[in-house]
Structure 1
Amino acid sequence: MANTLPQHIQVILQKIFNDNIENLAIDEQEGNKSGDGYLGDLVFLTVTNKKDNVPHNLVIKQCVAGVYPEAFVTATYLNEINFYTKIWPAMTEFQKKHLGEEDPNFVKHMAKCYYTDTTKGAEKIVLDNLKFKGFELHPKSIPLNFRQYASIFKLYAKYHAISFAMRKLEPEKFEEITKDVSNNWERFFITNPGPVGMTTAKIKMTFNPTTDQKLAEAFGTYHDNGNDILIAGMQYDGPYKVFLHADCWSNNIMFKYNDYLEVDDLRIIDFQMCFVGTPVYDLTYSLFSGAGKEALDRTDDLIDIYYQSLSEALKNYGLDPEKTYPLTALKEEWKKWNKFGFFISILVLSAKENAKARMKELVQYMFDKQLL
């Protein structure tokens, strides 16, 4: 089917495999389901060079004109291209230097990047299709359970440990690789306040005027000034900055399960919204956007699991966890800097099944934990 592919994709494949398109056997896989690619088109291909018969399963992410302003979509693609071509290679080399690839805290949980194109308005990224390696997405309609979150928090701890260690051991390198990262969440909500207002209005309508008076009162400020609170909640000024994933809902984590349906491995995908901030941004966004009551009720256990994993990783870098990121600081930041995770999560939940009930459940959780 090589000759039926768009010319620009043929050119990409020839560059990746350094061969003529006639020497490549190309099969198109099942396309993305509606809703899987929000900021562009996704093309799934299996490409086999006829010379060695080794199949390569690829995902081509390409920027297209759509409902979002072109400048914003371009910024998201440039962010992700910067991650795969500059930030992650530097982090990988840092881990090799200071940990070694055999260390259990070595993070290799990203897709291989084959190719990038920064042509304005036509940005592209070609990645390994992880589904062919046994990874799968969790159904968006089903809340994640405690064991899944334990695995996610352990991985985020190891991932954040790279930044903490790099800031201590090679601070100039950390500044160099993160200086060009833009906060695309802030960019979006400064110019698009509508989604937050509409979502908080939906939540307000779920309150019972008789039984939810205290909840409605506590939520009032969030309804009236939600977008401003969200933007302010992204202005982290503390001493514990790390490079974030920052788009942490369940559709950007892929799971591999063993025969007992236990999480065996994970992959983190989609770095279009990545920026620098407190680890709490990743943790609260991940938890609030996908957890059911079972996992939310065990938030303290998940924080402890995260910190234990972070401590182990930091020690292997030769650092003292309590001097690098004290547990007390993590808990204080959880209370102070949870608004980014909260607001992005209610937006995510608003598009899921049983949205009103799940959004209200999260607001009730925030109220009960004295986080509102």
Structure 2
Amino acid sequence: MSHTSNEIEVKSWLAKILKNADNFSVKIEGNSEKGDGYLGDILFVQVTENTAKKHNLVLKCAKKSKLLREKSPVQEAYLNEILFYETVYPDFVRFQRERGVENGFDNVVKCYGTLISGDMEIIAMDNLKKKGYVLWDRKIPLTRKHIDLVASAYGKLHAISIAMRDQEPQRFESLAKKPFDFFVKFMKMSDMITTMERNFDEITDLMAGELEDGVLRKWKDSKRRIRPFWENLREIVTGMKVLTHGDCWNNNFMHYHINGEPADFVMIDWQLIYLTSPIYDLSYFLFACISEEDINDLDKILQLYHSSLRDHLKKLGSNPDLYPFEDLVNDWKKYSFYGVIITNIIHKFVQSDKDEVPDLVDSVESGEDMADVFNLPIKNTEDYKKRRLYITKYVVEQEMSTQLEANIKQWLAKALKSQNLSDFSVKLVGNSGKGDGYVGDITFVQLSTPHQTYNLVVKCSKQSKVFTRIFLREIFFYDTLLPTFIKFQKERNLAEIFGSVAKCYGTYTSENIHVIILEDLKKLGYELWPVSKPMNREHIEMVVREYGKFHATSVALKILKPEKFQEILATLSRTVSDMFRTPEMQSIVRKSLKKAIELIEEEVAEEIVTKLKHLVEKIQNTTLEFEENSRLNVVCHGGCWNNNYMYKYDGSTKNVPSKLVIIDWQIATCGTPIADLSYFLFSYISAKDIEHLEDLLLVYHQSFSNHLEKFGLIPENLYPREQFLNDWQACSKYGLVLAIRSVRTSFIEKDEIVDLEEALQQGVELADYFTRDIRNMKGYKSRITYLVNSK
């Protein structure tokens, strides 16, 4: 058809649409590109009235293919959009105007009129391109400023529905019943759900090897939600409902920029308008358009949306809390799966090239099912995968977080019964970094009651029998051992007691999970020492003094309350020596020593290398000397590496700590005090301070002796200085051996950390895990060189 005959036809349409226009001419200036309109064709037209007044219009024309209209709800889509421009939006404008609202929702293109005639539906709109509005490149996520602008506008749009229902309920109900349910009808006319499932499988295959195993497993599990969710798309929505935009992908927003910054935008394409959850708009828009950089700020974007909604409700004269943020968050958790699945498909079109976009008419008339058109293969799978990867990871982690939040609330309710905390809410505020907890997972939680807020650390055992046994040891420490020590010291009226331990609010155990609830020391100003730096003298002295008090309390309890001490030993059961001689531990320390020898044998005297090699050969006998040579057995901390000491400071300087808390008591055992002391000192002493090692040992012994005296005991009769120093000479090689391993761990960088549980599931041996190569071998080599030279 020639342009001239087209213009004659277009003029006949416009004669009916532009009721007040007389004596006008028409010039067709172009049409949409392939892929811009799936259910219709778009013409760009210039209308000139009386040879002077000009209008630049866009004519949106529904496709006329009889077969397409039979197999898909093309007509209903256009009737919905006509309904929006002729009825819904004018009523929204009236409602805002009557309430004197300024800066209301007006992100809608001017509609000049519509036409319905037989198998033809046409909408005449302002040509925004002529006014400087542009489409964003669909292959590039929107910037944060664009996202915020659109999210705020959705807040205003949805607020109008809420306020109209509040103030004009009958009118709103009548209005809300008018749109056709395009999506449900489309799914009934095609096998769209199967297409969604196939598309889901394709994405899963693309992301194999890109996601952590746990995240990928959780993503695969979510496939089972697709069919029931979409088969009950309307019925599942029981919360807030508004008239939604419906089709929230990149090409339905036109943006206006000033000096490169977004200043305004217009929403187009209202064919999917329907009364449903506002989350359907939000999740579709955000997962379709958000960038990898901004997705972790999604909570802030939801807050921005809600703030806009509240402000607009207030301007409209309704209670701004008709849709509380808590309800929004709960609805997001329930319904945002909509946006996840629909954008799986949308991003295929987004990342496709023009020559890959199907023509719906050609596809349907060639016998192809409508749903199959949406499962098109694309060449650019890498960019498609990249786009879906960060969305999938975020969604799954949020889902896991939601489930964790529910679990934690349940655990807290049971663990905190003695605290009389029943009416409370829970907010997850973070978790430990990879590698921070070998035998447990750590979550930082804010618990709020009507009167107080508690900042807590929730430690949960990992799903491993070995890890569980170790974790239960720490539960015993907080439930029984520590309270026994504290009570014993108070009964003896000690003015200064050993209590440098985090407050435990409670514990909870079940068949599947074991939990410890502690105070969040970071919120109280406590910090870890930088892991790769040796500790300075002031920090080391504070730790050894506290170990002195802890070990002295153990000795005093053993002498003054022997039955109670024996009860503790019976539960701890395994000694330091027992734990050290396990095959797993022997393998770890033997391999650590061998690698250390290879690294430093050219840097140290041959005599030292010979001693180290001899130690490797006799490693199993190392702790036998504890039992043979040490006169004293105490309860030991056991986990004496950097991340288990947190310090508080009075001033801005971090050189001198004012307080110390010792954490992680999972391998508390019975053994010589030299076990704790040597492990700690060799792990964190500096080259300068190791030259004065005996001074530090005497600081420990003085603290130990002073604390024993407070119990009315005579230190020299129980553990004289000379015996203590002899024990150090005989037993401290234990600490050196463990330090050679722990110092290596201190130099592992964040991107080198591998989760222990995942590594074991993949068949990695414990010894290989703890002795794997690291980048900063220079720092490690320097530290262990001066350690072995000291021996």
Question: Which position in structure 2 is the counterpart of 1:113?
Answer: 111
Distance in 1 between residues matched to 2:212 and 2:167, nearest whole Å: 51
Contact 2:200–2:223 (8 Å) recurs in 1: yes
Q: Which amino acid aligns with 1:317?
A: L
Distance in 1 between residues matched to 2:107 and 2:29, nearest whole Å: 23
Distance in 2 between residues matched to 1:45 and 1:210, nearest whole Å: 48
Question: Which position in structure 1 is the counterpart of 2:308?
Answer: 309
Question: Which position in structure 2 is the counterpart of 1:146?
Answer: 144
Does 1:365 find its partner at 2:394?
A: yes
Contact 1:286–1:341 (8 Å) recurs in 2: yes
Distance in 1 between residues matched to 2:270 and 2:211, nearest whole Å: 42
CA apart distance, 1:7: 4.5
Question: Which position in structure 2 is the counterpart of 1:122?
Answer: 120
Q: Which amino acid aligns with 1:310?
A: L
Instruction: Judge which range, 242-251 or 110-119, deviates more.
Output: 110-119
Distance in 1 between residues matched to 2:213 and 2:179, nearest whole Å: 42
CA apart distance, 1:221: 3.8
Distance in 2 between residues matched to 1:225 and 1:114, nearest whole Å: 43
Contact 2:41–2:60 (8 Å) recurs in 1: yes
Does 1:59 find its partner at 2:58?
A: yes
CA apart distance, 1:236: 4.4
Question: Which position in structure 1 is the counterpart of 2:86?
Answer: 85
Question: Which position in structure 2 is the counterpart of 1:268?
Answer: 267
Question: Which position in structure 1 is the counterpart of 2:100?
Answer: 99
Question: Which position in structure 1 is the counterpart of 2:286?
Answer: 287
Instruction: Judge which range, 5-14 or 349-358, deviates more.
Output: 5-14
Contact 2:21–2:49 (8 Å) recurs in 1: no
Question: Which position in structure 2 is the counterpart of 1:136?
Answer: 134
Does 1:198 find its partner at 2:198?
A: yes
Q: Which amino acid aligns with 2:295?
A: L
Distance in 2 between residues matched to 1:14 and 1:279, nearest whole Å: 38
**SS of residue in 1 equivalent to 2:338:** helix
Residues 203 and 210 of structure 1, relative CA distance in 2, 3 Å threshold: closer
**SS of residue in 2 equivalent to 1:298:** helix
Instruction: Judge which range, 11-20 or 311-320, deviates more.
Output: 11-20
Residues 233 and 213 of structure 1, relative CA distance in 2, 3 Å threshold: farther
Question: Which position in structure 2 is the counterpart of 1:349?
Answer: 347
Contact 1:145–1:294 (8 Å) recurs in 2: no
Distance in 2 between residues matched to 1:249 and 1:99, nearest whole Å: 32
Contact 2:141–2:291 (8 Å) recurs in 1: yes
Residues 34 and 3 of structure 1, relative CA distance in 2, 3 Å threshold: closer
Deviations 1:8-38 (A, max 9, x none): 42212223445898x3232322321211111
Residues 211 and 130 of structure 1, relative CA distance in 2, 3 Å threshold: closer
Contact 1:189–1:227 (8 Å) recurs in 2: no
**SS of residue in 2 equivalent to 1:123:** strand
Residues 369 and 28 of structure 1, relative CA distance in 2, 3 Å threshold: same
Deviations 1:221-268 (A, max 9, x none): 443552433343443433421110010111111110112x11111111
Distance in 1 between residues matched to 2:239 and 2:324, nearest whole Å: 11
Contact 1:76–1:272 (8 Å) recurs in 2: yes
Contact 1:2–1:24 (8 Å) recurs in 2: no
Contact 1:163–1:242 (8 Å) recurs in 2: yes
Question: Which position in structure 1 is the counterpart of 2:171?
Answer: 173
Distance in 1 between residues matched to 2:327 and 2:293, nearest whole Å: 25
Q: Which amino acid aligns with 1:126?
A: A
Identity between Structure 1 and Structure 2 (%):
28
Residues 238 and 352 of structure 1, relative CA distance in 2, 3 Å threshold: same
Does 1:297 find its partner at 2:296?
A: yes
Query: Structure 1-normalised TM-score?
Result: 0.91
**SS of residue in 2 equivalent to 1:293:** coil
Residues 69 and 218 of structure 1, relative CA distance in 2, 3 Å threshold: farther
CA apart distance, 1:178: 1.6
Contact 1:230–1:343 (8 Å) recurs in 2: no
Instruction: Judge which range, 197-206 or 60-69, deviates more.
Output: 60-69
Contact 1:57–1:128 (8 Å) recurs in 2: yes
Contact 2:163–2:316 (8 Å) recurs in 1: yes
Contact 1:149–1:295 (8 Å) recurs in 2: no
Q: Which amino acid aligns with 2:243?
A: F
Distance in 2 between residues matched to 1:229 and 1:343, nearest whole Å: 10
Distance in 1 between residues matched to 2:117 and 2:150, nearest whole Å: 34
Q: Which amino acid aligns with 2:301?
A: L
Q: Which amino acid aligns with 2:310?
A: S
Residues 334 and 49 of structure 1, relative CA distance in 2, 3 Å threshold: same
**SS of residue in 1 equivalent to 2:120:** coil
Distance in 1 between residues matched to 2:75 and 2:185, nearest whole Å: 12
**SS of residue in 2 equivalent to 1:118:** strand
Distance in 2 between residues matched to 1:2 and 1:55, nearest whole Å: 19
Q: Which amino acid aligns with 1:366?
A: V
Contact 2:17–2:114 (8 Å) recurs in 1: no
Q: Which amino acid aligns with 2:48?
A: T
Query: Larger radius of gyration, structure 1 or 2?
Result: 2
Question: Which position in structure 2 is the counterpart of 1:9?
Answer: 10
Distance in 1 between residues matched to 2:218 and 2:41, nearest whole Å: 41
Question: Which position in structure 2 is the counterpart of 1:30?
Answer: 30
Q: Which amino acid aligns with 2:162?
A: F
Q: Which amino acid aligns with 2:95?
A: F
CA apart distance, 1:337: 0.8
Contact 2:18–2:113 (8 Å) recurs in 1: no
**SS of residue in 1 equivalent to 2:399:** coil
Question: Which position in structure 1 is the counterpart of 2:663?
Answer: none
CA apart distance, 1:136: 1.0
5 Å matches for 1:227-238? Answer: 227-238=227-238
Distance in 2 between residues matched to 1:128 and 1:291, nearest whole Å: 28
Instruction: Judge which range, 148-157 or 225-234, deviates more.
Output: 225-234
CA apart distance, 1:358: 1.3
Q: Which amino acid aligns with 2:112?
A: Y
Q: Which amino acid aligns with 1:295?
A: D
Distance in 1 between residues matched to 2:58 and 2:208, nearest whole Å: 46
**SS of residue in 1 equivalent to 2:56:** strand
Question: Which position in structure 1 is the counterpart of 2:336?
Answer: 338
Distance in 1 between residues matched to 2:325 and 2:296, nearest whole Å: 20
Instruction: Judge which range, 147-156 or 347-356, deviates more.
Output: 347-356
Contact 2:243–2:276 (8 Å) recurs in 1: yes
Structure 1: gaps spanning 5 or more residues: none
Q: Which amino acid aligns with 1:192?
A: D
Question: Which position in structure 1 is the counterpart of 2:216?
Answer: 216
Distance in 2 between residues matched to 1:321 and 1:312, nearest whole Å: 7
Q: Which amino acid aligns with 1:296?
A: I
Deviations 1:72-96 (A, max 9, x none): 1111011111111111111111111
Contact 1:200–1:226 (8 Å) recurs in 2: no
Give the counterpart of 2:153 among 149, 152, 155. 155
Contact 2:115–2:121 (8 Å) recurs in 1: yes
Question: Which position in structure 2 is the counterpart of 1:240?
Answer: 240
**SS of residue in 2 equivalent to 1:257:** strand
Distance in 2 between residues matched to 1:288 and 1:50, nearest whole Å: 48
CA apart distance, 1:118: 2.5
Q: Which amino acid aligns with 1:80?
A: E
Query: Structure 2-normalised TM-score?
Result: 0.44
Distance in 1 between residues matched to 2:291 and 2:187, nearest whole Å: 27
